[in-house]
Structure 1
Amino acid sequence: MIKLPQEHAQGRTTLADLQDIRSKLFASLVSDVLDSLGYMNQALPPAIRPLDESSVMVGRARTALFMDVYEVEPDENPYDLEIRLIDSLQPDQIPVFSCGRTGRIAPWGELLSTAAKVRGAAGALMDGMVRDIKAIRTMGFPVFHGGIGPLDSKGRGKIMAVDVPVECAGVRIAPGDLIVADADGVVVVPQQVEAQALAAAYEKLKGERKTLADLQAGISLGAVYAKYGIL
């Protein structure tokens, strides 16, 4: 049974906040503040790339765990949980597909992108492959992926559980975790430190803007670093 994450639990970021994050913050900044809080393994590896480098993706994780299969059972709908997850998406959620590292499937394509976009999803993330890339780029839907290929998941991989903690490209992602992604990569903010991390990110953003202004004014890098401690 699909478990829908609670919407706007006390102290959680609202949809308006997500839009503010999307317009002001960026992946490297969020990664830096997570490092400072002792969360050093929150950035997905560089093999996970945006289908379009202009994409910015900020939202909450809805997770799906794939397993490898090698046949389709008679009378089975191999897409059952996949369909149920996509049809239950809420605005600003991000389906996260944990596909493993076999490179056997491209579970995401034009049709899922269309269905997710219509439901207001903020994008999609997977360590598997993506296909139908021309159509997805045309519709402007953010997809962060582990490769490009034509292989359907049918007979190769199947979702076994949804809305459970997963590892995507080696990074743990729990349902409801905040995901911030852009051309620099994908960063996962655990819910237990979300408020602290975001407060620190906005504060660091102020310092970075001051640092940049001083550098543009010709002040030396050493002097600016001594003043703000930001590099």
Structure 2
Amino acid sequence: MEKIVEQFHTIDTSTISDALDKNGLTGQCLGIKSFNPGWKIAGRAFTVKYGPVDIVKGTVGDFIDDVPEGGVVVLDNQGRLDCTVWGDILTSVAKRRGIAGTVIDGVCRDTNRSLELDYPIFSSGRYMRTGKDRVQVDGVNCHVNIATVRVRPGDIVVGDADGVVVIPREFEEKVLATALEIEAAEEKIRSATEQGMRLDEARKQFKYHSLQTRA
């Protein structure tokens, strides 16, 4: 795993969210969550954009063999809840190829297979209806949207029990540094309160109320 991706993997999305706020960035994917709170992913985005099926029907997608090991598949199905773009065959191939996980602005299906293989999926929900003859791939490795967040190929995607965040490639070093500072400050607050300090005093001393405030 790439070093910076590995570092982000050790940090909670809540801390990364605060670091994004501190740097004036929006990367929190509203409504995207996993159905296993134990899942944690971090990797670079491999993006796929879907649209309504054309008069001449296109494919739902045979992109999976092009996703690099450790990558995160990011599927923009425009938030559709009436048909899925991910199921058990894709889960099986992705798991075998060492892909970190999948993020969907839309729904997935074959949930039991994902749980059986312990393959992380973060989505708007679950629904059994296929996307075949309903949607098709409009683009691969292009800009996509997940909820209200723009995701580009190569951006870092992190997901855990609290949801999914996206870190733009140009700001990844800065966001990481900020996240580590926030993490250190919060650990000092926890340590101080465990030693008997009042919470309000600890928060004041370690500047809790400004940790995520934009500089």
TM-score, normalising length: structure 2? 0.91
**Aligned partner (choices 82, 106, 116) of residue 104 of structure 1:** 82
Deviation at 1:156?
0.8
Identify the match of residue 217 of structure 1 among 175, 192, 195.
Answer: 195
Residue matched to 2:139: 161
Provide structure 2 residue ranges, at least 5 long, that are not aligned to the other structure. 210-215
Q: Is the 8 A contact 1:53 1:183 kept in 2?
A: yes
- Regions of 4+ moved over 6 Å: none
Q: What CA distance in whole angstroms lies between the structure 1 residues aligned with 2:139 and 2:54?
A: 18
Q: Choose which of 38, 41, 44 in structure 2 pairs with 1:54.
A: 38
1:15 equivalent in structure 2: 2
1:116 corresponds in structure 2 to 94
Tell me the CA shift for residue 90 of structure 1: 0.9
- What is the rounded CA distance, in whole Å, between the counterparts of 1:194 and 1:143 in structure 2? 23
Shift of 1:19: 2.6
Residue 177 of structure 2 corresponds to 199
Deviations 1:153-207 (A, max 9, x none): 1111111101111111121001000011111111110111111111111122111
Structure 2 SS opposite 1:188: strand
- Could you tell me which residue of structure 1 aligns to residue 119 of structure 2? 141
Whether 2:8 is the aligned partner of 1:30: answer no
Task: Give, in whole Å, the separation in 2 of the partners of 1:71 and 1:94.
Answer: 31
Larger relative strand fraction:
2
CA distance in 1, matches of 2:199, 2:55: 60
Sort the Cα spacing of 1:204 and 1:153 in 2 relative to 1 into closer, same or farther, 3 A.
same
Which amino acid is 1:20 matched to?
Answer: Q
Tell me, yes or no, if the aligned pair for 2:82 and 2:127 is still in contact at 8 Å: no
Aligned CA distance change for structure 1 residues 203 and 164 (closer, same or farther; 3 Å): same
RMSD: 1.6
Instruction: Quote the Cα distance in structure 2 between the aligned partners of 1:216 and 1:68.
Output: 55
Displacement after TM superposition at 1:71 (Å): 6.5
Counterparts of 1:52 and 1:44 in 2: how far apart (Å)? 17
CA-CA distance at 1:113 after TM superposition: 1.2
Say if 2:5 and 2:156, in contact at 8 Å, map to a contact too. no
Structure 1 residues 60-89: Cα deviation after superposition (integer angstroms, max 9, x where no partner) = 10111100127664xx6x23xx21x21011
What SS class does the counterpart of residue 99 from structure 1 fall into?
Answer: strand
Contact 1:167 1:173 in 2 (8 A): yes
User: Gaps spanning 5+ residues in structure 1: where?
Assistant: 1-13
> In 2, are the aligned partners of 1:72 and 1:154 still within 8 Å (CA)?
no
Aligned residues: 209
Contact residue 110 and residue 131 of structure 1 kept, 8 A: yes
Residues in 2 aligned to 1:207 and 1:184: alpha-carbon distance in whole angstroms: 20
Q: Which residue of 2 aligns with 1:66?
A: 50
Amino acid at match of 1:112: L
* Distance in 1 between residues matched to 2:56 and 2:111, nearest whole Å: 26
Distance in 1 between residues matched to 2:96 and 2:4, nearest whole Å: 21
